[in-house]
């Protein structure tokens, strides 16, 4: 979101806006400011409607996971205190509160590191076509939404806005990153998923799949961007789980399912009905509260797009 004509994002993502503080007039500043908007994307489109409190929930959930997983992989976070924001952002503190992270600039790997613990989504579609997920052969006869015996690492390239991510094999990552880095990303992704999966299960949520993004800061691997949010993961309520069918969800699959039923995937996606927007916001809040064990109380005001 543009805070003012003279403070505009260096990069406007599907949901997050990134401000390069060095480019925003802060001399010799190599920090980045990540701001999570209430925009929602689906099928690589940014939808016209926003989901109230979504950006704040994404940020606060990422902070929760960063702390829980820090012993496995450090992260790029510096601060979430408004006291640490540059002075020129002072007029926008109410709009930024609760939905920003000051982070270290990282040299990012050009991958989305996807881990799948259950057979769903694009993994299910590939399995039904050719008996594999991420080009990894699986036994015949697996049911939709079944738990996979071993979580699968199925990376994809990270596409520019408006473009589609491309699934790639582990061999591709070895060819492009080298065996050491390719193996490191795979192993850390699987370790993070397994830790998060076990925590979520104890709170009544199944993490069917998720994605991580990594970079390096001063040569050290860090977990960057977001982590294990409803936008980067597929969350299912454990009490309603039943293999062999699609599952109810806490994540934006709720919106994807509505779009599939009401849009032919041509042209501009349709506007979301008000009831769906309200229900989706409630789902995000419910996921936050179950995963963290804390009641969600908004910190900041609802922002503009």
In which element (H, E) is residue 90 found? none
Nearest CA to 16 out of 55, 72, 53, 46 is that of: 55
For 217, what's the count of Cα atoms within 13 Å in the CB-facing half-sphere?
Answer: 17
Sign of the torsion formed by the C-alpha atoms of 147, 229, 187 and 183: positive
135-174: pLDDT as tens digits:
999 999 999 999 999 999 999 998 665 456 789 999 999 9
CA proximity to 90, closest of 201, 4, 200: 4
- Taking a C-beta distance cutoff of 8 angstroms, is the pair 37, 18 a contact? no
Mean pLDDT of the chain, nearest integer: 91
- Residue 5 clears pLDDT 60, i.e. is over it: no
- Token pair recorded at residue 240: 């309603």
For 134-197, the DSSP string reads TTEE--TTPPTTPEEEEEEE--EE-PPTTS---B--HHHHHHHH-HHHHHHHHHHHHHHHHHHH
Residue-range domains of the chain with CATH: 11-105 (3.30.200.20), 107-249 (3.30.470.20)
pLDDT (tens digit, 9 = 90+) per residue, 68-99?
A: 999 999 999 999 999 999 888 999 999 899 99
Q: What is the pTM of this model?
A: 0.90
Identify the three-state secondary structure at position 88: helix
Tokens, residue 292:
């963290």
Most confident of the ranges 11-15, 194-198, 296-300: 194-198
Query: What is the rounded distance in angstroms from the CA atom of residue 210 to the CA atom of residue 111?
Result: 13
Whole-angstrom distance, CA of residue 297 vs CA of residue 82: 18
What distance in Å separates the CA atoms of residue 120 and residue 142, rounded to the nearest whole number?
11
Q: pLDDT tens for residues 212-259?
A: 999 999 999 999 999 999 989 999 999 999 999 999 988 787 798 899
CA 194 to chain centre: 17
For the chain, the first-to-last Cα distance in angstroms comes to 5
């Amino acid at each position: 979101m543009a805070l003012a004509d003279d403070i505009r994002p260096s990069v406007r993502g599907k949901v997050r806006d990134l401000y390069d503080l060095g480019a925003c007039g802060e001399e010799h500043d190599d920090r980045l400011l990540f701001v999570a908007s209430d925009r929602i994307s689906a099928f690589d489109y940014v939808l016209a409607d926003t989901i109230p409190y979504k950006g704040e929930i994404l940020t606060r959930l990422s902070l929760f996971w960063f702390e829980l997983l820090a012993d496995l992989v450090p992260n790029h976070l510096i601060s979430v205190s408004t006291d640490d924001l540059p002075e020129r952002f002072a007029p926008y503190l109410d709009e930024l509160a609760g939905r920003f992270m000051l982070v270290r600039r990282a040299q990012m790997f050009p991958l989305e590191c996807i881990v799948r613990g259950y057979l769903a989504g694009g993994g299910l579609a590939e399995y039904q076509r050719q008996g594999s997920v991420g080009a990894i052969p699986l036994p015949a006869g697996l049911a939709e939404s079944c738990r996979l015996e071993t979580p699968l690492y199925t990376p994809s390239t990270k596409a520019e806005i408006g473009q589609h991510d491309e699934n790639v094999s582990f061999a591709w990552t070895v060819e492009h990153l080298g065996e050491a880095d390719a193996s490191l990303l795979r192993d850390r992704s699987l370790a993070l998923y397994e830790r998060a999966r076990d925590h979520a299960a104890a709170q009544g949520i199944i993490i069917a799949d998720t994605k991580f993004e990594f970079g390096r800061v001063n040569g050290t691997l860090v977990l960057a961007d977001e982590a294990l949010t409803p936008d980067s993961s597929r969350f299912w309520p454990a009490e309603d789980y039943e293999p062999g069918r699609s599952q109810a969800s806490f994540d934006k699959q709720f919106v994807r399912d509505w779009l599939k039923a009401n849009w032919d995937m041509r042209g501009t996606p349709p506007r979301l009905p008000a009831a769906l927007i309200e229900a989706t916001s409630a789902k995000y809040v419910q996921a936050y509260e179950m995963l963290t064990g804390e009641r969600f109380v908004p910190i900041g005001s609802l922002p503009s797009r």
